[in-house]
Structure 1
Amino acid sequence: MRYELNPTQLSALLPCVIHAEDRLARLDERVLRHAIGDGFRERGHFFDAVAALWVGGELVHVEDLVLHDAHMDARTPTHELTIAHAMLRARRRLWQAEPGWGLDPTGIAALRGSGETGGETVQARTTPSEDETEDAFSLELAAIDALLARSDRLLEETTSRAPETKVAADHDPLGLIHDDEWDETERLREWRAVIQDADRMPPVLGAAALYDAWERLEPLRRQHWLGGLLTASYLRMRGKVTSHLFCFNVGLKTIRFERRRAPDRFTRLTAFLEAMAEAADAGLKELDRLTLAKTQMERRLKDRRSNSSLPATIDLVLSRPIVSAGMVARHVGITPRGALNLVADLGIREMTGRGRYRGWGVL
């Protein structure tokens, strides 16, 4: 699949390209130098996963995703929530890997679960750095990645037993899961060929072209949400957004469906460029909210003892869209009753309004 634009289309797209480039550059610079950049990155994973399901026509509440990620579900997880959590793990995996890893055949195979992972990449993901060893949360993520790596190796051993046959087809003779007429490998090869055309364009226009090609080809029918993640990975590889993994779906949900799926390529590209600008604006507003919230909460630290648990609680609140008493208690290492006292001391807003559990966060 060739993806070329004539000079007339490029001239018409130039204003949208300039606007998107400017907004993404501003966001990247602020996050790179911001004191709460780590919290912004982690919150972005949750918001983008929920937005991706929204774009696909499914509704997942962000508080349910946060609780499911913390293994504190308030109810039985739904199928949509499981998909959102898979996307959340994929975003974290992409961020921990090298910038161009997600666009390589090895990275795409690992993300789609085919088990074709490289040993060097797995080692980079499963071995935490010296700074991460001091963070209990990073250690927990490393344990999850190690489990995923073992699962990938097991899948690779299974598929290597019959390399010239389709193992999935042997276990799915009726074609209920895998469609023999829908060659995902060939469609992925066609989509990766568009990367060469995108490299000759400005970064944001190339990313829009890649996402448009993903929407047209639909390489992975059961993991269609990977398109937005790979688009964000491409922006990171081009050096346009290096401070975090861009939340493309957050802006995409503000664009009308008729424009996102328009038959005209120019309309679709314009919509995707506007989605990037909208996502960047949403990120800048989120940084302003987090900065104000951090300033207000840090004022509560005045006259506190040096071993107070409030600083750790503030870090948790800034890194999650919503927190519960159980999450605060486990993160800080206190009782749930003590966690309620810490939340009351910080004065953050209650968001759930549910009787079964209570949740607080920064709006």
Structure 2
Amino acid sequence: MTYEIGKLYHETLLGPIAAAEDALARLDERVARSEVGQGFAERADFFDSVSSMWVAGELVHLEDLVLHDAQMDIRAPSHELVIAHRIVRARRRVSRNDPGWAVSRSGIMALAGVGEGSSGESDSAGRAGEGVELDLVDNEALSPELAELDEVLARTQWLVDGNAVGEQRKREPEIVVGELLIRDPDWDEGERIGEWLELAKQVERLPATLAAAVLWDAWEHLEPLHRQHWLGLLLVSDFLRSRGKARSHLLAYAVGLREIPRERRRARDRTVRLVAFLDAMSAAAAAGMKDIDRLTLAKRQLERKATGKRTTSSLPAAIDLLLSRPLVSAHMVAKAARITPRGALNLVSELGIREMTGRGRYRAWGIL
């Protein structure tokens, strides 16, 4: 399976490219200069994770994800929730590394949880096994008991491999149906990742936003990873960061894709898909600008309520937590401010923030 860049219809793509470039530049400058830029970046991890699952057809509640991240689950985490939290952790890891780190073979393997040092470990293990085997040979010459034990082990291994005593031929390995349900043996992830990385080098000559759209379309077409398809959105965001379009944050690209109808994202015509992906970047930037405006206004209102308080007040810690999470619980506030849950409820009441759940127990508050 290959992906060819082919001919790009710049007449159709020029307008969406200019809009996306302008929107991303404005958002990046706003995040870099805003007093709530750090909180915005931390909140974007949760919004992008939930949106990534939504684009993939899975529903994860934002409240459950935030509480799971704080290790304060109110119920057993589902499989989808675990994947969503993995996306959050992956975004944090990419943000801590240099721009462009994720768009490399080592970065992809690290984020996918596949170690690159397995071959070296196997070689060392093989060498260690050879040493043990030589020792056994020496001991066999010295001890008849060990020789008998080796014979019994060899016979047992012969039976485990599916061979009867006296058989001269080996059975063919049976196909495990459960293994086929989990992983396709014909799915060569290494080759597909290499092809995608080669394509990432070829699109360097294109504008950053158009190159990112082509890379995401290629990721959808090639499907390099068997089970971590969500990683493609993260790689595209890091690619934009490496090209200087999002230096101060990691774009929540899935938030923009969520605003694009599925008919456009899955259209047969590649030009229609590329325009949709470019519009998704503009939508993600617009959503980010609105979130920054909302957080800036909320920060000023909350700081007014903290004016005149004593220097040992826990209100500043509660405000910082509110600005860095989509919603918080009383236990989260208590842990951040190092106070009791009852004291956290008093802080929340004093700040007058909006209650999000409408429940008597396991209540949560936030800025949305």
**Which residue in 2 is equivalent to 1:180?**
185
Alignment partners' CA distance in 1, 2:90 and 2:249: 14
What is the identity percentage for the equivalent residue pairs of Structure 1 and Structure 2?
Answer: 57
Q: Offset of 1:303 from its aligned partner?
A: 1.6
Unaligned runs of 5+ in 1: 118-152, 163-169
Q: Which residue is 2:288 aligned to?
A: 283
Alignment pair present for 1:272 and 2:273: no
Please tell me whether Structure 1 or Structure 2 has the larger radius of gyration of its CA atoms: 2
- Deviation digits for residues 49-91 of structure 1 (CA, Å, limit 9, x no counterpart): 0000000000001110000000000111001000000111100
Tell me how far apart the structure 1 counterparts of residues 333 and 184 of structure 2 sit (CA, whole Å): 45
Q: Secondary structure at the match of 1:196?
A: helix
Match of 2:33 in 1: 33
Deviation (angstroms), 1:354: 2.7
Rate the CA distance shift 1:318–1:174 in 2: closer, same or farther, 3 A: closer
Whole-Å separation in 2 of the counterparts to 1:300 and 1:37? 21
Whether the 8 Å CA contact 1:329–1:339 is kept in 2: the answer is: yes
- Of 349-358 and 281-290, more deviation after overlay is shown by 349-358
Residue-by-residue CA offset, 1:87-127 (whole Å, 9 max, x unaligned): 1110000000111110111111101111227xxxxxxxxxx
> Are 1:92 and 2:92 matched, yes or no?
yes
- Point out which structure has higher relative CO (alpha carbons under 8 A, 6+ apart): 2
The amino acid across from 2:250 in the alignment is L
**By how many angstroms is 1:197 displaced?**
2.2
Q: How far off its partner does 1:179 sit?
A: 1.1
Question: Hey, what does 2:202 align to over in structure 1?
Answer: 197
Q: CA RMSD in A?
A: 2.1
- SS at structure 2 position matched to 1:271: helix
1:269 and 1:40 map into 2 onto residues whose CA distance is 27
- Asked if structure 2 preserves the Cα contact closer than 8 Å seen for 1:115 and 1:156, the reply is no
Q: Tell me if 1:349 matches 2:354.
A: yes
**1:354–1:3 distance in 2 versus 1, CA, 3 Å:** farther
Q: Indicate yes or no: 2:257 matched with 1:223.
A: no
Asked whether the equivalents of residues 187 and 218 of structure 1 are also in contact (C-alpha less than 8 Å), the reply is yes
1:139 is matched with: none
Amino acid at match of 2:344: A
- State whether structure 2 residue 44 is matched by structure 1 residue 44: yes
| Matches of 1:173 and 1:40, distance apart in 2 | 43
- Residues 93 and 190 from structure 1, CA distance in 2 versus in 1: closer, same or farther, beyond 3 angstroms? same
Q: Distance in 2 between matches of 1:191 and 1:171?
A: 31
Structure 2: gaps spanning 5 or more residues? 127-174
Instruction: Report if the CA contact (8 A) 1:172-1:178 is conserved.
Output: no
In the aligned structure 1, how far is the partner of 2:123 from the partner of 2:359? 47
One-letter identity of the residue aligned with 1:31: V
- Cα deviation, residue 193, structure 1: 1.4
Query: How far is the alpha carbon of 1:176 from its aligned partner?
Result: 3.5
Structure 1 range deviating more: 188-197 or 269-278:
188-197
Contact 2:95 2:250 in 1 (8 A): yes
Task: Choose which of 289, 300, 305 in structure 2 pairs with 1:300.
Answer: 305
Deviations 1:241-273 (A, max 9, x none): 111010000000011111111111001000000
> By how many angstroms is 1:175 displaced?
2.9
1:103/1:230 contact within 8 Å kept: yes
| 3-state DSSP of counterpart to 2:99 | coil
- 1:307 Cα deviation (Å)? 1.2
CA contact (8 A) 2:241 2:247 kept: yes
| Contact 2:3 2:221 (C-alpha < 8 Å) held by counterparts | no
Equivalent in the alignment of 1:10: 10
SS at match of 1:73: coil
Report matched runs for 1:323-342 at 5 Å: 323-342=328-347
Counterpart mapping for 1:74-89 below 5 A: 74-89=74-89
CA contact (8 A) 2:357 2:363 kept: yes
Could you say which residue in structure 1 is the equivalent of 2:238? Answer: 233
What amino acid sits opposite 2:113 in the alignment? Answer: G
Aligned length: 320
Secondary structure in structure 1 of the residue aligned to 2:17 = helix
- TM-score of the pair, normalised by structure 1: 0.84
TM-score, normalised to structure 2, is 0.83
Residues of 2 paired with 1:360 and 1:161: CA distance?
53
**Larger CA deviation: 263-272 vs 301-310:** 301-310
1:313 and 1:332 in contact (8 A); partners too: yes
Residue 212 (str. 1) matches residue 217 (str. 2) = yes
| Residues 71/171 of structure 1: CA separation in 2 closer, same or farther (3 Å cut) | farther
Deviation sequence 1:118-144 (CA, Å, 0-9, x none): xxxxxxxxxxxxxxxxxxxxxxxxxxx
Q: Give the secondary-structure state (helix, strand or coil) at the position aligned to 1:316.
A: helix
